[in-house]
Amino acid sequence: MKSPKVMVPFAEGFEELEALTIVDVLRRAGITVDMVGIVGTMVTGGHGIRVTMDKKLLQVHAEDYNCIILPGGNPGYINLGRSSTLLELLKKMNGQGKLIGAICAAPSVLAKAGVLEGKRATIYPGMEKEIPYPRGEKVVVDGNIITSQGPGTAMEFALKIVETLMGKEMTYSMKRSLVA
């Protein structure tokens, strides 16, 4: 089986714990992950950690990926939502039925792109008004959409993405090796 390919867009002010947990866990599962800078190839998180990207957003195409996962963070999620290129990419990937994930405040970006219409989702507590059908669970899956609440749910969220892309057996193996 060919490894799924996942894009994780990074914007200035991203939440490091979420973004790096997602990238790390998916790569450990053998999934190809491209860290994609919304603007440049060096992006600084909300807590001052600078990360070098694999690509810039203008270099990627929806057809090359099975999945896109948005980390949150403030102002990271705001900066993601300001990218019309990213919003169009989300619409296109959703139209193709590809897996789309968002954590923390980033589900609001999915709502802005229109991909949460008719979908249940979760978001950072206190931001429920930003999405159409909010739920209180840590991780919510509705069709091709996976959402999660925040930094403390990043591991559970990343493992749900692994399960969706690679199956329960791989997830069980990952949980054992990560002691999760």
- By annotation, the residues acting in catalysis are 104
Give the separation between CA 47 and CA 169, rounded to whole angstroms.
35
Q: Kindly state the tokens that stand for 36.
A: 């994609």
Check: CB of residue 138 under 8 Å from CB of residue 122.
Answer: yes
Instruction: Tell me the helices (H) and strands (E) count for the chain, helix number first.
Output: 6, 11
Contacts 24+ apart (CB under 8 A), 42-48: 43/10, 43/11, 43/12, 43/14, 44/12, 44/13, 45/13, 45/14, 45/15, 45/16, 45/19, 45/73, 45/76, 46/13, 46/14, 46/15, 46/16, 46/73, 46/74, 46/75, 46/76, 47/16
Give the separation between CA 146 and CA 161, rounded to whole angstroms.
8
